[in-house]
Amino acid sequence: MNITLLGKNALVGGSSKGIGEAITKQLAASGANVTLMARNEEKMKAIISLLPSDQGQKHQYLVVDFSNFETYKSTMRSFFNQHSIDILVNNTQGPAAGGALEKKVEDYQQAFDLLFKSVVYTTALAVENMQKKGWGRIINVASISVKEPLNYLALSNSIRAAVVTWAKSLAFDVAKDGITVNNVLTGYFDTDRIAQLNSKKAEKLGISASEVKANMEAQVPMKRIGDPKEYGFLVAFLASEQAAYITGINIPIDGGLLKSL
């Protein structure tokens, strides 16, 4: 099966590192024109310099701050006034770790703005042109915690669950327009985010970060954590014509970690 995204325009959130960077590289390798979207301009410039352009692709970046919703809205309005997108990958940095009793109402509101409002707003802008074209792909980077909540990620558990149920409703509404909407439920991947969470957990438990990572790997049936490249492969498939009949679903990518159906 040859996946080609030649001529498609993709917008990828959180693309300066980790999973977002891996998705960006695979979409570009598959022929898409990619717009990177993150806070770190220098990192995005460096990534663009490495992206393939042998098929005539043109790549660009957009500096955004997901944690400031009003500023984010303004930036996105300006972008979509000048560009149309075929593939939207909704991905942001995660909110701060912590249990349900550690978080205040204000923390939940900030997480809601970061993880939910930004996704809904960006998608609404993207969908308008997708409907005109009769083709589109919306892919939300979510977490396995929407099925099996992680007690130390109360904010992420709560708000990402809202995202995936909203996406199910959206998938129904836009299916007739040739637009698919899917959620990828992220397991343990070798990223800075995991390293930061492991460091905090290690400090709390009084053990080393390497022990925390080893314990994490032991929980996964495949006995390893994922390579972000593997994530990119899945997203490229979901963005392709070959995935045209797949919509409204949650796809875990976790090495078999989830125990629920």
Residues annotated as catalytic are 152
3-state secondary structure of 160: helix
Provide the β-strand partners of residue 181.
138
The CA distance from 27 to 153, in Å, is 29
Position 14, amino acid: G
Q: Which of 71, 34, 72, 74 is nearest to 52 (CA)?
A: 34
| Residue-by-residue DSSP string for 203-259 | HHHTS-HHHHHHHHHHHSTTSSPBPHHHHHHHHHHHTSGGGTT--S-EEEESTT---
